[in-house]
């Protein structure tokens, strides 16, 4: 028979164990910075089961794709925080997420891993060359993840992987030569030439940091970067700076412009002009068949696409005007691309 003092001691031990377990549980992120909730992912078709991770500055999407290409256990969790280089805490977090997925789906045995991250990425060398919001420089992420997870790892840039998914499954699938542009808090891009990503050692596709004016100074250190004027984050910030009013994101500024707000109209028109200039430059130099636009700003619909089509036609002459196509895979394009890349190793 258990004595009262023993029972109390056991209860204390159990409480401590439960507290430790709870502290190790990774909580879910309900919606991203733009307010978008995680949607069900499109199937990627039949093939080997794979793990996939899409790492961002604030959250990580993770899933286990089965032999039918269905995403099992798809979730979004916070990116771990650390002072300086976050490589170590990220690799540990990937280990925890992978273990949870394997435990929850014991009948699905992954053969490879897809890992995509932001910043400057040298996919061939497996290096995270630079990511200001994650603190790494020349970090051997592919090899570290492979060692931690015990599987071969396909490693790539997040937007480049998203563009590959759009090419295989989404809005870019009808085009061999296309540009995928993601307009959210910042602006990121990727180029597909002849049906293959053009990477230039990880430096190609930095459309958000292409100069379109003499200012303002960007966080990257350059002047007049496109994303400082035309990203969803910049649109909201510029309206707030001009009025002292904090809008409910870029969509609120666009709605205010449509309702006749003069300052909102100026902010939105200057963003459209900057985007038009950047797309015109891409059209003249790369001549893509299509420019696929995703990210939070793409949900503006005709206010974005119709205006860009008209302004692009006015600015250019003999050039082949690209189709402007909405992205189809929403916030899941990155993890779908990671899974597709992992399948290539399995």
DSSP helix/strand/coil, 71:
strand
Q: Is the pLDDT of residue 9 over 70?
A: no
For residue 37, is it within any domain? Answer: no
Band the pLDDT of 24: cuts 50, 70, 90: low
Same domain? For 124 and 178 the reply is no
**Would 1 be classed as within a structural domain?**
no
- Residue 143 sits in the same domain as residue 189: no
The proportion of the chain whose per-residue pLDDT surpasses 90, expressed as a percent, equals 79
Work out the number of other CB atoms within 10 angstroms of the CB of residue 83.
7
Q: Which of 113, 143, 163 is the last residue of a domain?
A: 163
**How many C-beta atoms surround the C-beta of residue 153 within 10 A?**
25
Helices (H), the chain: 4-24, 87-104, 141-149, 158-169, 227-230, 232-243, 249-258, 262-285, 302-315, 333-343
Average pLDDT, the chain: 89
Residue 256 CA to chain centroid, in angstroms? 28
Residue 184 or 148, more confident: 148
Confidence of residue 101 (pLDDT cuts 50, 70, 90): very high
Strand partners, 180: 190, 292
Rounded distance between C-alpha atoms, residue 53 and residue 74, angstroms: 10
Same domain, 159 and 179: no
Q: Is residue 292 part of a domain?
A: yes
> Would you say residue 25 lies in a domain?
no
User: Using one digit for the tens of pLDDT, what is the confidence trace for 28-60?
Assistant: 876 555 556 677 889 999 999 999 999 988 899
The percent of residues above 70 in pLDDT, for the chain, comes to: 90
**What is the pLDDT confidence band of residue 7, given thresholds at 50, 70 and 90?**
very low
Q: What are phi and psi of 135, to 5 degrees?
A: 80, 10
d(CA 319, CA 123) in angstroms, rounded, equals: 33
Q: What is the pLDDT of residues 217-233, one digit of tens each?
A: 998 889 999 999 999 99
Domain boundary among 163, 193, 212: 163
Q: What is the pLDDT of residue 100?
A: 97
Range(s) of the domain holding residue 210: 174-327
Mean pLDDT computed over 234-260: 96
Span 125-158, pLDDT tens digits: 999 999 888 999 999 999 999 999 999 999 999 9
Considering the domain architecture, whether residues 94 and 221 belong to the same structural domain is answered as no
pLDDT value at residue 31: 57
pLDDT value, residue 8: 44
Q: Is the pLDDT of residue 271 over 80?
A: yes
131 and 217 fall within a common domain: no
In a domain, 238, yes or no: yes
- Across 289-300, average pLDDT: 93
Asked if 242 and 319 sit in the same domain, the reply is yes
Confidence band for 314, pLDDT divided at 50, 70 and 90: very high
Q: For the CA atoms of the chain, what is the radius of gyration?
A: 22
Residues 135 and 266 in one domain: no
The answer to whether 260 and 293 have CB atoms below 8 angstroms apart is no
338, part of any domain? no
Residue 341 forms part of a structural domain: no
178 with 281, same domain: the answer is yes
Last residue of a domain, one of 128, 143, 163: 163
Lowest mean pLDDT among 14-18, 279-283, 330-334, 342-346: 14-18
pLDDT at residue 54, rounded to an integer: 96
Over 90: is that where the pLDDT of 342 sits? yes
Specify the pairing of strand 290-294 against strand 323-326: parallel
Give yes or no for a contact between 343 and 117, defined as CB atoms under 8 angstroms apart: no
From the centroid of its chain, how far is CA 139?
19
CA atoms within 13 A on the CB side of 90: 31
* Counted domains in the chain: 2
Residues 140 and 182 in one domain: no
- Same domain for 209 and 93: no
Q: Is 326 in a helix, a strand, or coil?
A: strand
Could you tell me the CATH number of the domain that includes residue 302?
3.30.420.40
Are both 203 and 69 inside the same structural domain? no
8 domain residue, yes or no: no
pLDDT of 311: 97
Q: Residue 39: its pLDDT value, please?
A: 79
| pLDDT over 60 (residue 5) | no
201 and 259, same domain (yes or no):
yes
Of the listed ranges 28-32, 238-242, 261-265, 334-338, the least confidently predicted one is 28-32
Quick one: which of 127, 53, 118, 128 has its CA closest to 341? 53
Beta strand pairing call for 50-55 and 187-193: unpaired
* Residue 326 · residue 30 · CB < 8 Å: no
Pairing between strand 178-183 and 112-117? unpaired
Q: Does the pLDDT of residue 331 top 90, yes or no?
A: no
pLDDT of residue 32: 58
């Amino acid at each position: 028979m258990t004595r009262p003092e023993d029972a109390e001691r056991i209860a204390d031990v159990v409480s401590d164990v439960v507290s430790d377990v709870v502290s190790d549980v990774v909580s879910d992120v309900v919606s991203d910075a733009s307010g978008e909730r995680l949607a069900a992912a499109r199937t990627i078709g039949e093939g080997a089961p794979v793990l996939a991770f899409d790492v961002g500055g604030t959250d990580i999407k993770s899933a286990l794709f089965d032999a039918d290409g269905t995403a099992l256990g798809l979730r979004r969790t916070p990116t771990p925080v650390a002072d300086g280089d976050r490589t170590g805490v990220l690799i540990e977090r990937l280990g925890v997420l992978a273990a949870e997925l394997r435990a929850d789906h014991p009948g699905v045995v992954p053969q490879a891993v897809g890992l995509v991250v932001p910043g400057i990425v040298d996919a061939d060398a497996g290096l995270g060359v630079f990511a200001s919001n994650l603190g790494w420089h020349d970090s051997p992420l592919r090899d570290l993840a492979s060692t931690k997870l015990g599987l071969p790892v396909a490693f790539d840039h997040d937007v480049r992987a998203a563009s590959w998914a759009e090419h295989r499954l989404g809005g870019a699938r009808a085009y061999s030569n296309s540009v995928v542009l993601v307009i959210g808090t910042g602006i990121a891009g990727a180029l597909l030439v002849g049906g293959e990503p053009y990477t230039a050692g990880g430096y190609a596709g930095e459309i958000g940091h292409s100069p379109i004016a003499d200012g303002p100074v960007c966080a990257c250190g350059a002047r007049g970067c496109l994303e400082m004027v035309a990203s969803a984050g910049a649109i909201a910030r510029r309206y707030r700076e001009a009025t002292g009013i904090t809008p409910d994101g870029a969509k609120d500024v666009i709605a205010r412009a449509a309702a006749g707000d003069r300052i909102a109209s100026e902010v939105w028109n200057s963003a459209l002009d900057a985007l038009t200039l950047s797309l015109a430059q891409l059209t003249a130099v790369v001549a893509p068949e299509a420019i696929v636009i995703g990210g939070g700003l793409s949900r503006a619909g005709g206010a974005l696409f119709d205006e860009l089509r008209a302004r692009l036609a006015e600015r250019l002459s003999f050039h082949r005007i690209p189709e402007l196509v909405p992205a189809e895979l929403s916030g899941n394009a990155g993890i779908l691309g990671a899974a597709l890349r992992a399948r290539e190793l399995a």
